Structure 1
Amino acid sequence: MREMSRRDVARLGLGAGVGAAVTTLGGCGRDVPGLSPGGAGRPPDRPGAPARAVRLIGDGSTSFTGRQPRQPAAPVPLEAGQTPPQFVVFSWDGAGEVGNGLFPRFLDLAREHDVRMTFFLSGLYLLPEAKKRLYSPPNNPVGASDIGYLNDSHVRATLTHVHQAWLDGHEIGTHFNGHFCAGAGSVANWSPAQWRSEIEQARAFVKTWRTQTGWHDHPSLPFDYDQELIGGRTPCLLGQDNLLPVARELGWRYDASSPGGTQRWPDKKQGVWDLPLQAIPFPGHSFEVLSMDYNILANQSQNSTRAPAYNYPAWRTQATQSYLAGFQRAYETNRAPFFIGNHFEEWNGGIYMDAVEAALRQIAGKPDVRVVSFRQFVDWLDAQPPAILARLRTLDVGERPPGGWSGFLREQRGTAKPGTAPPKGEA
């Protein structure tokens, strides 16, 4: 991989520390449904699981297969005095497989720990480069893209892993298309109408990959993308203000594009849940860093993705500790949700992938912790009384509830009957 230019840094989304960069850039049932070539039902991907009926959508690129497997029970409101769960969301910008095996590696890791994630799929990753003139990016030449196009084998691999991700219970969001972060064509300058065009094109590329590739030997994606898509993350965390009116009109439920968020309970912006990447402790420094792999890299190696290898062990440890410090600060205090953003990249010897894996292994399974997708998290938010969420939002970063959780939320839901113990937090 070549060294990254300043334009590359903007394209991928990240700046240096919170003090310098967070304000500017930020990144990127058990029944198993599926299809065999040609649209017929295929054997389930796990032995013993019965096949389910499949209804093709459009050209058969996508399909309706019923309720998504491996989803939690319907969320319920917090009880009076109950400790909120600690939600953690691992998300992936682009979500393309380029032959480095990172997509299946993290699918396997999620399966091992029975957790869910969000994959923000770039629509162009399902469009063959030979068909690139089908893409008309706002304020850019037809067919242009700052992230390029995948070769055919990588498009096929991406289809395979996106398919499996949904079957495993993960969410498929969007990272839009061309990832324009710099110059006049930057997404920062797009109007609401231009964002609508970008979204419609991203959805179309997912919904028509079979027509564009001509492949009839590959299973259909097992979901209706118009129903699946309820949120995304913009390139470089730019352009949210003009995106949100469109997101609201389309019925999206959240957006994960705010730069430089803090570890506090979220609120809605323009009627859409605003779920930003967050400033977290950066061991060895007085400033904080955005909770994304590339922002940590930018602070460690001044944007170099191939820095001298002797740095890697210490940087891997530092990145891991940064994620864990962000988690621990929330877990032990205000229980604000913790959001981590990633890319399927092997920057600096793959140390950031190692750090994310190490952090997940130490976070998953702790009491009261739920590692979920953004969709699952907003399902929980929408099930809570507004007064409870408003009360949670009064807690600052690293602030414990005065008097403990049993008293802090009790007044919002009434007092427990005399002689009863306060309810325990849900796992």
Structure 2
Amino acid sequence: MRDISRRSLLGAGLGGAAAIGMAGCGSRHSSETGRPGPGPGERAGGKAEGEGAGIEDVREIGDGSTADTGEQPNQPSAPVPLEPGQTPPQFVIFSWDGAGEVGTGLFPRFLELAKEHDAAMTFFLSGIYLLPESKKSLYRPPNNRIGASDIGYLTDAHIKETLGHIRSAWLDGHEVGTHFNGHFCAGSGSVAHWTSAQWENEIDQAVSFVTEWRTNTGWTDLDPLPFDYRKELVGGRTPCLLGQNNLLPTARRLGWRYDASSPGGTQIWPTKRQGVWDLPLQGMPFPGHTFEVLSMDYNILANQSRNTTRGMPSRYPEWRTQATQSYLAAFNRAYGSNRAPFYIGNHFEEWNGGIYMDAVEETLKRIAGKPDVRLVSFRQFVDWLDVQDPAVLAKLRTLEVGQSPDGGWNAFFKRA
């Protein structure tokens, strides 16, 4: 097991609206079939595959799709409160909607990048990405026909790849959240119209697809996911950033700690809504324009190629540079002023020649290793928030976008 320096990241050194647009998500492909094992109940089993070769105490859960393997590896040391006058860390959270592998190699590409730079990320897994298309009748989406989905089901080969990468991601220290299931953004079946009870039903189904993939696929020769997903799941992001108001009561009932679904946030310190940390995608500078763009790959695309995922190839180099500069401008604005956390949303997609994946990679490389910078998951970030003095967080929230503390951090907190 790697012993990476991320273990100390949280504990040590704690020293235009219309132009923003709506978040999009990727489309996917189709399917095959497969295999699993054991019956109900928990049993001792083998060790999870991947980097976790050192895991020996594995207690399978339910049908063996998941397992309790103990504490998650590669986690930071326990967070501590800011000391008086201490400069807050600059948190940056890279997150991925859908988190399925479709043969492009993007999932392992960013897992490797994260290893190289001691970064943790959040992967919002779409539950149906672990459900074979041959079993799509098991999915009963609210206000939609049985088996319907506005994103495609994965092939069996891609489900297996996704399982392997999700397994590796958790063992590497990343978070596995949820992007729910069918990604309905339009019409009467849109998630924008779902009730709190319907959100709970959708979440129950997403969890069942993750925790019962062995039963649903029939595959018995793959190792379980090395975590208890019912305990692991503490947050998500809704399709197209819709429906948060009715989701929040359910999220609170389920004990979720945060929600990352709100659109159009700004680079200020977060607050809670209905007892849940509200961590919205944020407006960020968009070079060459007077308006800001939402901090997600699809929204940059929407402003560059008018929602077309295959724009003019001759402009790809220019658009790649613009996307990178946008991310870096937002990072630098917060890093040099109020130190508000910066959230970046992505999809494993090769839109416009893959330029947005290149922009995200270049951004991460440019900011990793800078003093006080913490590349963490949403879960790790709320761990830090939850141990801070509420008065300190309230004081941080008085700083507007790009506003530096008057007289420096020491003077700023003395006036708290």
Which position in structure 1 is the counterpart of 2:298? 294
**Cα distance in 2, alignment partners of residues 197 and 363 from structure 1:** 40
CA contact under 8 A between 1:136 and 1:142: conserved in structure 2? Answer: yes
1:81-120 equivalences in 2 (<5 Å): 81-120=85-124
1:148 Cα shift? 1.4
Which position in structure 2 is the counterpart of 1:400? 404
Sequence identity (%): 72
Matched, 1:41 2:46: yes
CA contact under 8 A between 1:80 and 1:411: conserved in structure 2? Answer: no
CA contact under 8 A between 2:256 and 2:276: conserved in structure 1? Answer: yes
1:45 Cα shift? 3.9
Which position in structure 2 is the counterpart of 1:62? 66
1:72-83 equivalences in 2 (<5 Å): 72-83=76-87
1:330-341 equivalences in 2 (<5 Å): 330-341=334-345
**Cα distance in 1, alignment partners of residues 300 and 257 from structure 2:** 29
Cα 1:45–1:135 change in 2 (3 A) is: closer
The alignment partner of 1:20 has SS state of helix
Which position in structure 2 is the counterpart of 1:19? 17
**Cα distance in 2, alignment partners of residues 196 and 239 from structure 1:** 12
Match of 2:125 among 116, 121, 125: 121
Q: What is the CA deviation profile of residues 198-219 of structure 1, one whole-angstrom value per residue up to 9, with x for unaligned ones?
A: 0000000000000000001111
The alignment partner of 2:17 has SS state of coil
Match of 1:281 among 257, 270, 285: 285
Matched, 1:254 2:258: yes
**Cα distance in 2, alignment partners of residues 79 and 42 from structure 1:** 41
Q: What is the CA deviation profile of residues 257-298 of structure 1, one whole-angstrom value per residue up to 9, with x for unaligned ones?
A: 000000000000011000000000000000000000010001
CA contact under 8 A between 1:233 and 1:255: conserved in structure 2? Answer: yes
How many residue pairs were aligned?
A: 386
Match of 2:207 among 170, 179, 203: 203
Moved over 6 A (4+): 36-39
**Cα distance in 2, alignment partners of residues 241 and 63 from structure 1:** 33
The alignment partner of 2:324 has SS state of helix
Which ranges of structure 2 fall in alignment gaps of 5 or more residues? 1-15, 26-35, 39-43
The alignment partner of 2:86 has SS state of coil
Q: What is the CA deviation profile of residues 180-210 of structure 1, one whole-angstrom value per residue up to 9, with x for unaligned ones?
A: 0000000000000100100000000000000
1:51 Cα shift? 3.0
1:3-402 equivalences in 2 (<5 Å): 18-20=16-18, 22=20, 25-28=22-25, 40-42=45-47, 45-46=50-51, 50-402=54-406
CA contact under 8 A between 1:61 and 1:208: conserved in structure 2? Answer: yes
CA contact under 8 A between 1:267 and 1:274: conserved in structure 2? Answer: yes
Q: Which amino acid in 2 is paired with 1:130?
A: S
Q: CA RMSD in A?
A: 1.5
**Cα distance in 2, alignment partners of residues 97 and 362 from structure 1:** 26
1:25 Cα shift? 2.3
**Cα distance in 2, alignment partners of residues 43 and 170 from structure 1:** 16
CA contact under 8 A between 2:45 and 2:59: conserved in structure 1? Answer: no
1:43 Cα shift? 7.7
Using the size of structure 1 for normalisation, the TM-score is: 0.88
**Cα distance in 1, alignment partners of residues 343 and 95 from structure 2:** 8
CA contact under 8 A between 2:51 and 2:168: conserved in structure 1? Answer: no
Q: What is the CA deviation profile of residues 393-416 of structure 1, one whole-angstrom value per residue up to 9, with x for unaligned ones?
A: 00000000111101111344xxxx
1:26 Cα shift? 2.3
Q: Which amino acid in 2 is paired with 1:346?
A: E
CA contact under 8 A between 1:97 and 1:157: conserved in structure 2? Answer: yes
**Cα distance in 2, alignment partners of residues 46 and 280 from structure 1:** 36
